[in-house]
Structure 1
Amino acid sequence: MNRRYGSSSTSVDAARTVANHYSARRNQTFEEREVSPIVHLRKLNNWIKSVLIQLYAHRGDVVLDLGCGKGGDLYKWDKAGITYYVGIDIAQGSIQDCHARYTNARFRFPARLICGDIAEMRLDQALADELPFDICSCQFALHYSWTTEARARRAIANISATLRPGGTCIGTIPDANVIIRKLRETRGLCFGNSVYSVRFDEEFSEKKFKSSSPFGIQYMFHLEGVVDCPESLVPFDVFESLVKEYDMELVFVKNFHEFVHHYMKLPKYKEMRTIGVLGGQSTISEDEWEVAYLYLSFVVRKRGQC
């Protein structure tokens, strides 16, 4: 990567790169997914999202899905018994695929799908007739807003502005602490394994990151068959500070490894073993498990009571 995406113009370039990347990705068939080298990682990610939804969604909820992608979580929301769904994604191709998925299935809830950048839009205006939402979900997407402070603030402000008092936001993002630690443990500026790689630009050759500049810290991320575009670190202390500033509070944060070890102990979530993630005939590979360590889950709640 030859440049940082710190200014407003280059942030637009970064957003366009991300949008083009995900628009170009086509939906894989079941057979293709099953032979993917990261099939168990994808199942693990889906299990984590399913647990988050089971923990915090309630029957009858109105849902806002930020970075909804191709609609892979629609089935999870249908199982939760929600009554209305709004999905927003920056990639036009993903929205088209999400629409096709919604149209071809028999979901029990009405839905509205929007192509837009959650780090640029004013969602309190765009969704004025649908406010407030009971629950917001932002899965593997919020870090794309961290190219500038203004974009990060807009994304967090949008979450707060669309939630009802007492409403929750569930999400997953890269774990900045883990990524920085892995970078410092490697000799160069790139680390990874057979299924992923992270590459920082030469400007980070000293592997030092100023707390005064927590936005626009870019790296190139490749995940076999899924991701190949620039991403941004999200220092979690900065994230938590913004959450508080926008009238929300952190409920919990767990690295994926911690999340798995905690919730798989609970009987109601042990179906993980039956889908070949941990244990059983087909177990997640060490390389996939290393990728899982790069991510964390979080839950924040809008202050007040409904």
Structure 2
Amino acid sequence: MTNQDDKKRPYSAEDEEEAFAQMLALAESQEQPQVKSEEPSTKNLRANNSEAVAYDTVQSLSKAEQVAQHYNTRRELGVEGRMHTKITGLRTFNNWVKTVLINENTTPGCKVLDLGCGKGGDLRKWAYARIGEYVGMDIAQVSVLQAENRYKEMRSPSFSASFFAQDCYGEPLEKTIRPPNYQADIVSAQFCLHYAFESEAKVKQMLHNVSSHLRSGGKFIFTVPDANWLVKMMRTKNSETFGNSVYQVKFAQREPITCYGFAYDFTLDEAVEDCTEYLVHMPSFVSLAETYGLKLVYKQGFHHFYGEKITVKKNLDLIFKMRVVDETRPEISAHEWEAIGIYLAVVFEKE
């Protein structure tokens, strides 16, 4: 699900204009930097031999309507624009995480249901994973049309695709998706699931939508802010507001922390400004998900995800192919690295 105006919402799948194929092509034509096999440091990702590298929308609108309005009015930075911003390292690193997460949980020919597909920013990633069928859904109709156009512009796409505009958290998918009983092998929700935590009812509707359209043995994969990390930072800093030059988090209150509807405002430089988000209380979510037949099989913060996955050569190669670091930008800044630590990569499996 996607949310709020050009500078209003947290980082999402559509916040980077996908240049995935272009990145790969560029990388293949260039000599790759040499990286030692020793375990890399995760303090600051480097490309050298020693380390592997809206809120002013109309207040009368419902939250869902604000989400749609945001995505329907976002401007496009373009490929080059997104590769030369203050948070380029963060954007490309998050792209790398999603690519690895997708590659490790898909099989050739599988069916994918992408909740919060935005403008189709992850289509190239799914093509790279050689899926067979794709269904993209998002609350913003204009974004869905752009995603569909992006798919049509792909050269000989290896998978079929269909797109639907709908609130994936507030309504049953059967209202729009065709066929109504569509079953996927993978359900994906990238940088958007936390919006469901506005209320328990929305979380339950979201889980119903995932479970009822995911086959037995299928995977539910998503990336989401880490509530434990956010609350720990608030308490460590002894302040409702914290951050650095890249991001800022502002809680309205410290206590009591509730399982649903515990809001904070999030700002990400050049991308988001004072967007209202909600803590995802993971223990409660895991317990509730089990009642929908969904079992947690993987949960890791992005820093540890990097340290774990970078030991696999193909994942390390992707760091360079996707230009997470390169000769012109040899490392991710310390402030970006701190902001990257906000997020979790999570996988559930349908029983």
TM-score (structure 2 length as normaliser): 0.78
1:144 alignment partner, one of 170, 195, 199: 195
Q: Cα 1:123–1:267, aligned 2, differ >3 Å: closer, same or farther?
A: same
Structure 2 CA distance for partners of 1:278 and 1:236, relative to 1, 3 Å: farther
Aligned to 2:169: 119
Distance 1:273 1:74, change over 3 A: closer
The structural deviation recorded for 1:51 is 0.5
| Number of the residue aligned with 1:64 | 113
Match of 2:307 among 261, 276, 282: 261
Helix, strand or coil: the match of 2:148? Answer: helix
Residue 297 of structure 1 is matched in structure 2 by 345
Correspondence for 1:285 among 333, 346, 350:
333
Please point out which of 227, 233, 237 is paired with 1:182.
233
Q: In structure 2, give the amino acid aligned to 1:170.
A: I
Residue in 2 that maps onto 1:54: 103
1:21 match: 70
- The code of the aligned residue for 2:171 comes to M
| Structure 1 residue 227, shift from structure 2 partner | 2.6
Q: Residues 152 and 11 from structure 1, CA distance in 2 versus in 1: closer, same or farther, beyond 3 angstroms?
A: farther
Amino acid of the structure 1 residue aligned with 2:75: R
- Structure 2's unaligned 5+ residue stretches are 1-58
- Aligned ranges for residues 214-229 of structure 1 at < 5 Å? 214-228=259-273, 229=275
Q: Does residue 1:231 correspond to 2:277, yes or no?
A: yes
Residues 1:279 and 1:254: Cα distance change in structure 2 (over 3 Å)? farther
Q: Which residue of 1 aligns with 2:42?
A: none
Distance change in 2, residues 1:302/1:112 (3 Å) = same
Change (3 A) 1:272 1:193: farther
Equivalent residues of 1:11, 1:147 under 8 A apart: no
**Structure (1/2) with the larger helix percentage:** 1
**Cross-structure match for 1:7:** none
- Kept in 2, the 8 Å contact 1:248–1:300? The answer is yes
Aligned to 2:316: 270
**CA shift in 2, pair 1:109/1:215, >3 Å:** same
Q: Shift of the alpha carbon at 1:12?
A: 7.0
- Determine the structure 2 residue equivalent to 1:192: 243
CA distance 1:11–1:287, shift in 2 (3 Å)? farther
Q: Is the 8 A contact 2:243 2:249 kept in 1?
A: yes
Give, in whole Å, the separation in 2 of the partners of 1:11 and 1:140. Answer: 25
Partner of 2:255: 208
Q: Note closer, same or farther for the CA distance 1:11–1:254 as it changes in structure 2 (3 Å cut).
A: farther
Aligned residues: 288
SS at match of 2:202: helix
Instruction: Quote the sequence identity (%).
Output: 39
Residue number among 84, 105, 130 corresponding to 1:81 in the alignment: 130
Q: Deviations over 1:215-239 (max 9, x none)?
A: 0111111112223321110011011
Higher-RCO chain (CA-CA 8 Å, sequence separation at least 6): 2
Residue 101 of structure 1 corresponds to which residue in structure 2? 150
Following superposition, the deviation at residue 301 of structure 1 comes to: 0.5
Deviates more, 1:189-198 or 1:99-108: 99-108
* CA offsets 1:136-189 (integer angstroms, 9 cap, x no match): 111001101110100011011111110001011111000000011111122432
Distance 1:25 1:298 in 2: 28
Write the deviation string for residues 113-144 of structure 1: whole angstroms up to 9, x where unpaired: 11111112212454362621111111001101
Q: Distance in 1 between matches of 2:93 and 2:65?
A: 29
Following TM superposition, by how much is the alpha carbon of 1:48 offset from its aligned partner in structure 2, in angstroms?
0.7
> Distance in 2 between the 1:144 and 1:222 partners?
15
* TM-score after normalising by structure 1: 0.88
Note if contact 1:47-1:272 (Cα within 8 Å) is conserved in structure 2.
yes
- Report the counterpart of residue 211 of structure 2 in structure 1: 160
- For residues 160 and 17 of structure 1, the distance between their equivalents in structure 2, rounded to whole angstroms, comes to 26
| CA displacement at 1:81 relative to structure 2 | 1.5
The alpha carbon displacement at 1:208 in A equals 2.2
Match of 1:131 among 167, 182, 185: 182
* Structure 1 stretch displaced more, 170-179 or 118-127: 118-127
